Structure 1
Amino acid sequence: MKKATMLALGASAAMLALSGCGAGSDGNASQGGGSDSGQASSKPAVKLTLEDRLLETSTDGSVIAHRQMIDEFKKENPNVEISEESLQDATYKTKIKTLAAGNDLPDVFELLGSDAKMFSDNKLILPLDDIMNQAPDWKKGFIPSTLNDFTVDGKLVGAPMQMLSTSLIFYNKDIFDKAGIAEFPKTWKEFTDAIQTLKAKGYIPISLGNKDKWVAESCILSELGDRFTGTDWFDSIKDRKGAKFTDRPFVDSLAALQELSKIGAFNADMNSIDNNQQRASYYNGKAAMFFEGDWAISSLSSEAPQEIKDQTHLAILPTADGGAGKANVVSGGAAWAFAINANLKGDKLQAAIDLVKKLTGEEEANVAAENNAVAATVPTDYDKSKVVPLFNEYLEMFKSLELSPIYDGQLSPAIIETMNNGLQDLLIQRVTPEQLAKDIQSTYEGT
């Protein structure tokens, strides 16, 4: 994905500011049944299966909006029965690939950007171009760059769900002040110095939950890597135009991540807790920072004590000395979309299309905005009084930023598996940056 300026999201942010009326998981599956049409003896004419990672226990604003849209769809379509299974992130990714291998995919499901080409090449998912062209109001509501993220060989294969930035630093200003750090670091040396100062004061500098393996890659390395390599390098990797994972700038980014671990930036159990658990140390004031995407804004606003919410601010990684990347770049994109099983026909296909429209339309975007989340569709009418200050800080911050690719949203699943597994070892000094780079390059050359 070529680097996109934040003009699209900036427009969305402006819309959020002007148009108003005023993926946590617990590892358990949740099931949703069909609605009661008021006639107990009548049976639904259409049954749809839906698979996603949108757990009912999640406090993510996008998930809250999803749940409301599902409830409304059931009431509006009493003849459609939805059997929904929501799974924890890692479990979902494994299951959906297993189902794809057996050509037994659900009717509607979440599609990861890095899986889009494989699913499309194997004709497992329905191209959506004709469907969107027949529903111009739905199509024009999307932030344009989100559609680009799910365009494969000129075909749109998924309806984007969200507009993510995956690498935000949530930090406690009060802890920084107590440690004598007047402002958030602007250079890599200032950042590592601040970490050592926070460590000496008895704080966990950065609470990290990398049990499910994606946090270190998606929320840290996707941005840290770009600081060293620049986005042109990534484009060359993706397009196979000569760049290698063993190139010195990428190796340097791995070394920088390992350096953070060596100087005590992270909690010792970082590979044993997940992204939801990593927030606990931050909420209780023991940790000064954590890395996560914008979805954590709504989670923090509903979970954290008021004194923590009042002191929380946002930042991005500082520049890397000698790096090729820009300072005003954050990893981001759509990352996930809803896809439709290519085998559907007739009433079942129409019901699936109607469901995907409901889950990715303007109404969903309005509810997401009220719950401090950015959808893939621009909101047009929402209650500004429901938005927390941190979300407004986020929107203001992004007016001057650009997007770089999210690694696990763009690279092949095989490459990401090697990278994510290796990052766990890198963080505990079981592998060197050079060796991990070689391992990733070997997988890259074999795919």
Structure 2
Amino acid sequence: MTKAFKVLITVLTLCLIVAGCGGGGGNSTGAEGGSGSGDRAETITLSIWHNYSGDDLRAQTMRRLIDEFQQEHPEVKVDSQPIPTDAYRQRIQTVAAAKEMPDLFLTYAGSFTDEFQKAGLIQPVTSVLEEHKDWADGFLPGATDIYNYDGEVYSAPVAMSATSFLFYNKELFEQNGVKVPTTWEELLAAIEKFKAAGITPIALGNQAPWVAQSTLFGVMADRVTGSDWFMNAKDGNGASFADPQFLQSLTYFKQLVDVGAFPEGANSLDNTQAEQQFIQGNAAMIMNGAWSISNWAAAASEEQINKVGITVFPTMPNGLGEANTITGGPGGGFVLNANLEGEKLELAKQLFYKLSSAEAQKAIAESNSMVMYNVEIDESKVTPLFYEAFNLVKTLQFSPVYDLYLSAAGGEAVNNGLQEMMLGGDPAAVAEKLQTTQAAATGK
């Protein structure tokens, strides 16, 4: 190596050291380039957490939109963290406790968002809605109401939460001479026939304990108690989870357990396994949300999907609730970290809009996923099952999903209580625990 070459290497090394020391910023922003020449743009890092980690079409669509934003904004480094659904809530709540939130993250409507807003961890997106009024006017009535706090909107849903469709295998019903149930008595009769034929009546994977509550128990209980009773009970407003009608709801759920409606070891199966058990023809029915349609569109054969029928949960004896309902309403949406400001905030708003815009809503719908947005979908781009569900849901009313409205502790109490009942637990003990927990959380 020549002396001149050694000198050149030394000079270059010193330049790199000086440039490195001169780079600046906090955790999310770093300067790329020289020390103040102004001819190189600063790179801003935006972190975004979401649960679009799977291979279903909706997850693929959302990740594609994030990638498109990255390509459209080379000055931004998008740090996208896809986290599996069953672990997502806990991960977000953990960083929230430490006040180390990502810049944008997917939230769920109801108490989940309430807690972030009350803690001052998120900020409004009202200005985005005002800036894009044509887009804002396209949401279905009430779509953003649940994200409205004192006149400020904190998110816009990118999904419709429809959590309790009754899917059934048309071929198995026909082969076994079973009527699609419209009443509780007909459901019990169907379960008995399928059990006798050696077929699992209702697939269920309740390893993550929200599943039984969100997809089955919530709508069953609403058929018994009515939605107004639940909204009063959660607030301690003249109703209680110790009331007889709620205990009756739990008793009906325990009856399903006792007659063998679910697969053995359902608490050890996850929801994906239950979906597969059903779509492969190894279970006659499954109560599940609209996400199953997207999952099957990505992974199931056309022959398998064509065997699937869709309806709503049956009526219950002497029920006070409406029959033509499904649990759900506005689904998840993205929220912004309260600490964002300046150029980084403006870029985060642009990413928020990219993922929530009319174009995004249409793309999500055409990935076989429900949205709370007035879209015209191309029937050729979705499965017949989705198109049927899309039109069915337009005829239904929504009833509340329990853990979206209960406190976090109350939601955990009912979810864990249902798991316990599947292992022989006592409905009265579950009702008492839920009432005590929810009352403590609300101070009533």
Question: Of 81, 98, 120, which residue of structure 2 is paired with 1:123?
Answer: 120
Q: Following TM superposition, by how much is the alpha carbon of 1:144 offset from its aligned partner in structure 2, in angstroms?
A: 2.9
SS of aligned partner of 1:333: strand
Letter in 1 for 2:113: A
Letter in 2 for 1:246: A
Matched, 1:407 2:417: no
Matched, 1:386 2:381: yes
Where structure 2 has 5 or more consecutive residues not aligned to the other structure, the ranges are 1-38
Of residues 111-120 and 184-193 in structure 1, the stretch that sits farther from structure 2 once superposed is 111-120
The answer for the alignment partner of 2:372 in structure 1 is: 376
For 2:78 and 2:373, the matched residues in 1 are separated by 23
For 1:111 and 1:215, the matched residues in 2 are separated by 18
For 2:161 and 2:68, the matched residues in 1 are separated by 25
SS of aligned partner of 1:291: strand
CA deviation string 1:151-185 (max 9, x = no partner): 2343322221211210011110110111111x311
Question: Of 142, 159, 163, which residue of structure 1 is paired with 2:160?
Answer: 163
Question: In the TM superposition, what are the counterparts of 1:259-338 in structure 2 within 5 Å?
Answer: 259-338=255-334
The answer for the alignment partner of 2:45 in structure 1 is: 47
CA deviation string 1:257-314 (max 9, x = no partner): 1111110100012111111111221132211111110111121123223332121010
The alignment yields a C-alpha RMSD, in angstroms, of 1.7
Q: Following TM superposition, by how much is the alpha carbon of 1:42 offset from its aligned partner in structure 2, in angstroms?
A: 7.0
Q: Following TM superposition, by how much is the alpha carbon of 1:379 offset from its aligned partner in structure 2, in angstroms?
A: 2.5
The answer for the alignment partner of 1:396 in structure 2 is: 391
CA deviation string 1:231-257 (max 9, x = no partner): 110221244312111111111111111
For 1:411 and 1:158, the matched residues in 2 are separated by 20
For 2:394 and 2:127, the matched residues in 1 are separated by 33
Percent identity between the two aligned chains:
36
The answer for the alignment partner of 1:444 in structure 2 is: 438
CA deviation string 1:399-438 (max 9, x = no partner): 3211111112222111011111111111121x21111000
For 1:152 and 1:64, the matched residues in 2 are separated by 32
SS of aligned partner of 1:146: coil
Where structure 1 has 5 or more consecutive residues not aligned to the other structure, the ranges are 1-40
Letter in 2 for 1:47: T
For 2:401 and 2:217, the matched residues in 1 are separated by 9
1:44–1:423 Cα change, 3 Å? farther
Q: 1:363–1:379: 8 Å Cα contact kept in structure 2?
A: no
CA deviation string 1:216-243 (max 9, x = no partner): 0111111111001101102212443121
For 1:223 and 1:438, the matched residues in 2 are separated by 20
Q: 2:234–2:438: 8 Å Cα contact kept in structure 1?
A: no
Letter in 2 for 1:287: A
The answer for the alignment partner of 1:202 in structure 2 is: 198
Q: Which has the greater radius of gyration?
A: 2
The answer for the alignment partner of 2:421 in structure 1 is: 426
Question: Of 188, 210, 214, which residue of structure 2 is paired with 1:218?
Answer: 214
For 1:191 and 1:406, the matched residues in 2 are separated by 22
Letter in 2 for 1:172: N
The answer for the alignment partner of 1:35 in structure 2 is: none
Of residues 135-144 and 197-206 in structure 1, the stretch that sits farther from structure 2 once superposed is 135-144
Q: Following TM superposition, by how much is the alpha carbon of 1:384 offset from its aligned partner in structure 2, in angstroms?
A: 2.6
For 1:82 and 1:375, the matched residues in 2 are separated by 25
Matched, 1:246 2:246: no
For 1:70 and 1:386, the matched residues in 2 are separated by 21
For 1:437 and 1:215, the matched residues in 2 are separated by 18
Instruction: Give TM-score scaled by structure 2 length.
Output: 0.87
Q: 1:165–1:331: 8 Å Cα contact kept in structure 2?
A: yes
The answer for the alignment partner of 1:82 in structure 2 is: 78
The answer for the alignment partner of 2:96 in structure 1 is: 100
The number of aligned residues is: 402
Q: 1:54–1:87: 8 Å Cα contact kept in structure 2?
A: yes
Q: Following TM superposition, by how much is the alpha carbon of 1:361 offset from its aligned partner in structure 2, in angstroms?
A: 0.9
Of residues 393-402 and 412-421 in structure 1, the stretch that sits farther from structure 2 once superposed is 393-402
Q: 1:249–1:323: 8 Å Cα contact kept in structure 2?
A: no
For 2:125 and 2:298, the matched residues in 1 are separated by 36
The answer for the alignment partner of 1:36 in structure 2 is: none
Instruction: Give TM-score scaled by structure 1 length.
Output: 0.87
